[in-house]
């Protein structure tokens, strides 16, 4: 008889956002008249901007003619997109990242789940707590996390770095030495971040202890403060210790279009083994390239019109963030985030767990958010609201919350 990957059996329940979707569906079936406002999953609501739509139309027309038709995309991405990324996301910020160090993919979720494959199962991971659940779950599936303790909601072989109001949501160097450090900055779910100087300390630490940093910069477009780095490669020495994951979902509305990229610098080596070569081998074997049409849409993100239109779109969502933050404060909540990220992180009322508050908000205000404990044990007692709704819905949700 064949055997399965037992590690999957260790995972508690289903993926966080699938759990929430099930609960909301059950509530909506039981209350068909309820006008539910969804501020749970960080999914965008505004349409693709005109510059991107034009690029999509143009690329679709190219696919209709034999002379301009495109089949398989190059494994690592089309040069036109990799050059645009290198120029705009790196060179323009003084980061020395070349186009051939960029691997185009179908999104940061896949890359953040897959990147662990090129590392030994003996490695110990460290994660901020709370954080995007994919990092831990994908390492559990691989068999790197040990056993789960339901009482503490912790894995025996994961190093948790609590980020709570007590430490101003800044991760501290762990007592035990990790091999792989996941940093999501600005952070999902807390919406908080650290300064460039603090990030430099993490880079220095990783280089010193021989750890690799997996840096998820999916929310970089929302950074509004000057002392925050837009890429880890702004820090000295990052090319010898860090892999950076980027997404087009949040800055350009590609959640349903799917595009992202990963940077693996050529200088990143374990002994004399190049991680760049390993990821290229993995990518070439398991991935057949993001669609041509989508990569042309990605290129349009960096056009003058695309940049201007997306700046406005980010501004739209950040206006929502402000509305949520101020509305919650008016209603007496303790709130964090929402300045460098489209997430607002609030402390649940005394004696209410994260899931209690989820039920309360759904039942009494018909508003969906995300329970903090779904992102890690230190998220218990907190709750996340996203700024990715429409402005009208955001205002309406806050009115309902204030009225409670
Ligand atoms: C979230 O809500 O945390 C994100 O939308 C999840 C994701 O980006 O996959």
With a 6 Å cutoff on the Cβ, whether 124 touches ligand 1 is: no
- Known binding residues for substrate are 15, 42, 109, 132, 188, 288, 384
Whether residues 187 and 200 share a domain: the answer is yes
Give the pLDDT score at 242.
98
User: Does the residue 317 lie in any domain?
Assistant: yes
Whether residues 296 and 323 share a domain: the answer is no
Whether residues 19 and 74 share a domain: the answer is no
Contacts of 38 (CB under 8 A, 6+ apart): 24, 368, 389
- pLDDT of 80 over the 90 cut: yes
The CATH number of whichever domain residue 387 belongs to comes to 3.90.1150.10
How much distance in Å is there from the Cα of 317 to the middle of ligand 1?
15
Nearest to 254 by CA among 52, 66, 6, 7: 52
% of the chain at pLDDT higher than 90: 98
Region 211-232: mean pLDDT is: 98
Whether residues 262 and 337 share a domain: the answer is no
Look at ligand 1, atom 1, and give the residue with the nearest C-alpha.
Answer: 42
Give the pLDDT score at 360.
97
The CATH number of whichever domain residue 238 belongs to comes to 3.40.640.10
Region 305-332: mean pLDDT is: 98
Please tell me the total count of domains within the chain: 2
Look at ligand 1, atom 6, and give the residue with the nearest C-alpha.
Answer: 42
User: Does the residue 391 lie in any domain?
Assistant: yes
Q: What is the pTM of this model?
A: 0.97
**Ligand 1 atom at minimum distance from 386 CA:** 2
- pLDDT of 127 over the 90 cut: yes
User: Does the residue 10 lie in any domain?
Assistant: no
User: Does the residue 3 lie in any domain?
Assistant: no
Whether residues 282 and 373 share a domain: the answer is no
Give the pLDDT score at 259.
98
- pLDDT of 379 over the 80 cut: yes
User: Does the residue 359 lie in any domain?
Assistant: yes
Whether residues 202 and 327 share a domain: the answer is no
Give the pLDDT score at 348.
98
Q: Which of 240, 274, 303 is the last residue of a domain?
A: 303
Which of 40, 132, 388, 389 is the best mutation target for the ligand 1 pocket, counting ligand atoms within 8 Å of the beta carbon and taking the most?
A: 132
How much distance in Å is there from the Cα of 41 to the middle of ligand 1?
6
pLDDT in tens, 252-288: 999 999 999 999 999 999 999 999 999 999 999 999 9
Pairing state of beta strands 273-274 and 269-270?
Answer: antiparallel
Give the pLDDT score at 17.
86
With a 6 Å cutoff on the Cβ, whether 133 touches ligand 1 is: no
**Ligand 1 atom at minimum distance from 189 CA:** 3
Whether residues 273 and 331 share a domain: the answer is no
Look at ligand 1, atom 9, and give the residue with the nearest C-alpha.
Answer: 109
Q: Place 15 in a pLDDT band, splitting at 50, 70 and 90.
A: confident
**Ligand 1 atom at minimum distance from 109 CA:** 9
User: Does the residue 190 lie in any domain?
Assistant: yes
- pLDDT of 13 over the 80 cut: no
pLDDT in tens, 144-165: 999 999 999 999 999 999 999 9
The ipTM value here is 0.93
Look at ligand 1, atom 4, and give the residue with the nearest C-alpha.
Answer: 42
Tokens of 52: 């991107």
Mean pLDDT of all residues belonging to the chain: 97
With a 6 Å cutoff on the Cβ, whether 38 touches ligand 1 is: no
How much distance in Å is there from the Cα of 341 to the middle of ligand 1?
13
Whether residues 267 and 344 share a domain: the answer is no
Q: Place 184 in a pLDDT band, splitting at 50, 70 and 90.
A: very high
Region 86-115: mean pLDDT is: 98
Determine the structural domain holding residue 358 and report its residue range.
15-47+305-403
How much distance in Å is there from the Cα of 32 to the middle of ligand 1?
27
Whether residues 39 and 121 share a domain: the answer is no
User: Does the residue 2 lie in any domain?
Assistant: no
How much distance in Å is there from the Cα of 218 to the middle of ligand 1?
10
How much distance in Å is there from the Cα of 344 to the middle of ligand 1?
14
Q: Which of 303, 333, 362 is the last residue of a domain?
A: 303
With a 6 Å cutoff on the Cβ, whether 188 touches ligand 1 is: yes
Whether residues 116 and 134 share a domain: the answer is yes
Whether residues 216 and 280 share a domain: the answer is yes
With a 6 Å cutoff on the Cβ, whether 41 touches ligand 1 is: yes
Give the pLDDT score at 317.
98
Whether residues 206 and 334 share a domain: the answer is no
CA-CA-CA-CA dihedral for 318, 321, 322, 327, to nearest 10: 160
How much distance in Å is there from the Cα of 228 to the middle of ligand 1?
22
Q: Which of 303, 321, 339 is the last residue of a domain?
A: 303
User: Does the residue 212 lie in any domain?
Assistant: yes
């Amino acid at each position: 008889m064949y055997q399965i990957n037992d590690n999957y059996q260790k995972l508690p329940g289903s993926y966080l956002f699938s759990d929430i979707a099930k609960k909301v569906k059950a509530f909506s079936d039981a209350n068909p008249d309820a006008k539910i406002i969804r501020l749970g999953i960080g999914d965008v609501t505004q349409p693709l901007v005109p510059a991107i739509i034009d690029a999509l139309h143009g690329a679709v027309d190219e696919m209709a003619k034999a002379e301009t038709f495109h089949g398989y995309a190059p494994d690592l991405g089309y040069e036109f997109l990799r050059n645009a990324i290198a120029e705009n996301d790196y060179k323009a910020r003084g980061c020395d990242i070349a186009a051939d160090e960029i691997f185009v993919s179908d999104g940061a979720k896949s890359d953040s789940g897959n990147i662990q494959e090129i590392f030994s199962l003996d490695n110990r991971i460290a994660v901020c707590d709370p954080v995007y659940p994919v990092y831990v779950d994908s390492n559990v599936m691989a068999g790197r996390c040990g056993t789960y303790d339901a009482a503490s909601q912790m894995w025996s072989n994961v190093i948790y770095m609590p980020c709570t109001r007590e430490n101003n949501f800044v991760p501290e160097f762990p007592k035990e030495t990790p091999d792989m450090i996941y940093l999501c900055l600005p952070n999902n779910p807390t919406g908080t971040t650290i300064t460039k100087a603090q990030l430099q300390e993490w880079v220095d630490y990783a280089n010193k202890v021989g750890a690799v940093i997996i840096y998820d910069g999916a929310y970089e477009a929302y950074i509004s403060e000057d002392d925050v780095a837009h890429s880890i490669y702004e820090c000295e020495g990052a090319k010898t210790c860090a892999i950076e994951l980027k997404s087009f979902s949040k800055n350009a509305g590609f959640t349903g279009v799917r595009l992202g990229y990963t940077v693996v610098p050529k200088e990143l080596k374990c002994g004399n083994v190049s991680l760049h070569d390993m990821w290229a081998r993995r990518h070439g074997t398991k991935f057949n390239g993001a669609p041509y049409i989508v990569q042309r849409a990605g290129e349009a993100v960096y056009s003058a019109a695309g940049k201007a239109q997306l700046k406005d779109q980010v501004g739209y969502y950040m206006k929502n963030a402000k509305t949520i933050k101020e509305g919650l404060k008016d209603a007496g909540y303790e709130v964090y985030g929402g300045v460098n990220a489209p997430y607002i992180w609030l402390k649940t009322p005394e004696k209410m767990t994260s899931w209690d508050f989820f039920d309360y908000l759904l039942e009494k205000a018909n508003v969906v958010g995300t329970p903090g404990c779904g992102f890690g044990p230190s998220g218990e007692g907190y709750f996340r609201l996203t700024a990715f709704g429409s402005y009208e819905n955001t205002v309406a949700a806050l009115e309902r919350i204030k009225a409670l």
